[in-house]
Structure 1
């Protein structure tokens, strides 16, 4: 039986460790629902991978040992609302592995980011459950009861995020929202600003360890910053939010350092990676501001996954014609 690629396994383990600061902050903010999501995503991802590998007559133990299924589960659990109904992470993780990974032949062959495939499936299918996050820390028994509760109970207990509020605001200024609305924190969304800073810390560790190059993260953050700055119309009631608000809200840092940097579905050449990230940053801003979804990270990454082969070919031709 072939052994798992030691380099792949080491990289996956390092990514898992780098996710720890962000997950700990999520746990501190939202309680045990984050851990329940993680366990449900992990169990569903491993079970789906094992079943599909057995059906495809591939070595199950080798594939499960590389850690890629756990990375997908971690990214999904960080992106899904805490205390979501139990079936939401199960469906998301199963779709991520089945539709985003094994349907194309397994690890190293997926043209789309598997975690974003799973996220997009549940976002399109269950937009109500995906649009609300808890506004308080829940104990274990409370989180467990919410996980198996009806959608009506969860909707009554949960609260909209900053990006949801900003999209539907028509009367309050940005200063009034920051001063009075519970979804707003100091610089970005309540809690999400600290989550973003924690994932930024983990991403910088991966960058320092040369797990990926700087091109995709800098491109994404630069694109989001530039277009939010150009479209920033002050703090009035019709404001789209400042660049700092967009950088520290939603899943910005998770997208920049853990999703846009996925090597298989992303670009291979440095210039193409930079353009990949820049395009993702632009799309995130456009979807947040004028699209039908509050964040837009999943769709931005998936659309850029489609463009990745063309960007690589263009970058290659450009390198060939340079003296």
Structure 2
């Protein structure tokens, strides 16, 4: 008699989603921002993105090879990390510093902790903070946008709009207008300037169900509310700095963000609150990277605090 009871390990419900398909969608969602960065800052922006991706993949391949581990470059996670690192640096940064950041992210933060799925913080975030602390001068030297449409470019030289707006004598009139902020015609890191491109990429990820809207929406709403509370311009706080880039592409990292929806809300609120507090009262005008890293570290505690009680379980 044929055995109709087949026992197999979980998961019992499967679909066609894989790590590589998820990461390919994330990379595709960042293409509009990469194109915008190239148009805004010139070909050097594209060179930095390509170099960062190439060396991220190289470092992952060579590490796995030397450690006699399975090659994982086909999962596209190194490509995504490389793009995010490039998006978090100014177009003026020397290429060797970008390569150093790639090594930091892939070898130290990702592979030494066990590879994808085992890192305790987002590798690209850790690499950006490493660069900011080690080479603060280079990381805060901004290039003027290139003007492709003719006429003078109304952009701030030598400082980002966020640095201007969080200064003691800040005036909105000193910063680029909102249209330029949305289009990215301003100083800043490669992937954070064009808010429209980032928003398009974020909506694409939500539409493809790669991420849920919970974390991005919670982060953006919290930044808006906290900006009002601290006396900062809430609309500028949303479109300046790394708010959009962090909310859609870095805070939503599967490994370092909470699993359940209530945890995601707590996580997003924490990122928004810390970001604005650093912008309003801290030494650095930008706080998104520090906020995400801090909440990455807290994520296991959030998951532990809100986990469901198993059926029939007893509270301690």
TM class, shorter-chain normalised?
A: 0.7 to 0.9
Name the structure 2 match of 1:174.
172
Please report how far the alpha carbon of residue 55 of structure 1 lies from its aligned counterpart in structure 2 after TM superposition: 2.5
Q: Secondary structure at the match of 2:166?
A: helix
User: Could you tell me how far apart the structure 1 residues matched to 2:248 and 2:278 are?
Assistant: 20
Name the structure 2 match of 1:101.
110
Contact 1:49–1:97 under 8 Å retained in 2: yes
Q: Work out whether 1:92 is the aligned partner of 2:68.
A: no
User: Could you tell me how far apart the structure 2 residues matched to 1:98 and 1:296 are?
Assistant: 25
Q: Work out whether 1:78 is the aligned partner of 2:87.
A: yes
Q: Judging changes above 3 Å, is the alpha-carbon distance between structure 1 residues 73 and 267 closer, same or farther for their aligned structure 2 residues?
A: same
User: Could you tell me how far apart the structure 1 residues matched to 2:78 and 2:160 are?
Assistant: 28
Q: Work out whether 1:122 is the aligned partner of 2:127.
A: no
Instruction: Look at both structures and tell me which one has the larger radius of gyration over its CA atoms.
Output: 2
Please report how far the alpha carbon of residue 251 of structure 1 lies from its aligned counterpart in structure 2 after TM superposition: 1.3
Q: Work out whether 1:220 is the aligned partner of 2:231.
A: no
Q: Work out whether 1:256 is the aligned partner of 2:247.
A: yes
Q: Judging changes above 3 Å, is the alpha-carbon distance between structure 1 residues 127 and 269 closer, same or farther for their aligned structure 2 residues?
A: same
Contact 2:222–2:273 under 8 Å retained in 1: yes
2:34 pairs with 23, 31, 35, which one? Answer: 23
Please report how far the alpha carbon of residue 248 of structure 1 lies from its aligned counterpart in structure 2 after TM superposition: 0.5
Question: Could you list the per-position Cα deviations for residues 124-146 of structure 1 after superposition, in whole angstroms to 9, with x for gaps in the alignment?
Answer: 1001111122113299xxxxxxx
User: Could you tell me how far apart the structure 1 residues matched to 2:32 and 2:255 are?
Assistant: 25
Normalized against structure 2, the TM-score is what? 0.83
User: Could you tell me how far apart the structure 1 residues matched to 2:85 and 2:246 are?
Assistant: 11
Q: Judging changes above 3 Å, is the alpha-carbon distance between structure 1 residues 165 and 83 closer, same or farther for their aligned structure 2 residues?
A: same
Name the structure 2 match of 1:149.
none
Q: Secondary structure at the match of 2:109?
A: coil
User: Could you tell me how far apart the structure 2 residues matched to 1:247 and 1:319 are?
Assistant: 40
Aligned positions of 1:40-59 closer than 5 A: 40-59=51-70
User: Could you tell me how far apart the structure 1 residues matched to 2:18 and 2:123 are?
Assistant: 20
Number of residue pairs matched by the alignment: 283
Question: Could you list the per-position Cα deviations for residues 268-323 of structure 1 after superposition, in whole angstroms to 9, with x for gaps in the alignment?
Answer: 111101111111111111111211222122111110011101111122258999xx
Q: Secondary structure at the match of 2:256?
A: coil
Name the structure 2 match of 1:292.
283
Name the structure 2 match of 1:301.
292
Contact 1:31–1:138 under 8 Å retained in 2: no
Normalized against structure 1, the TM-score is what? 0.81
Moved more, 194-203 or 270-279: 194-203
Contact 1:215–1:271 under 8 Å retained in 2: no
* Aligned-residue RMSD, C-alpha: 2.4
Contact 1:112–1:305 under 8 Å retained in 2: yes
Name the structure 2 match of 1:9.
20
Name the structure 2 match of 1:282.
273
Contact 1:30–1:135 under 8 Å retained in 2: yes
User: Could you tell me how far apart the structure 2 residues matched to 1:120 and 1:128 are?
Assistant: 13
Could you list the runs of 5+ residues in structure 1 that have no partner in the other structure?
140-157, 179-183, 233-240
Question: Could you list the per-position Cα deviations for residues 189-218 of structure 1 after superposition, in whole angstroms to 9, with x for gaps in the alignment?
Answer: 463686122111110111011111121111
**Which structure has greater helix proportion?**
1
User: Could you tell me how far apart the structure 2 residues matched to 1:103 and 1:194 are?
Assistant: 32
Contact 2:92–2:138 under 8 Å retained in 1: no
User: Could you tell me how far apart the structure 1 residues matched to 2:195 and 2:215 are?
Assistant: 17
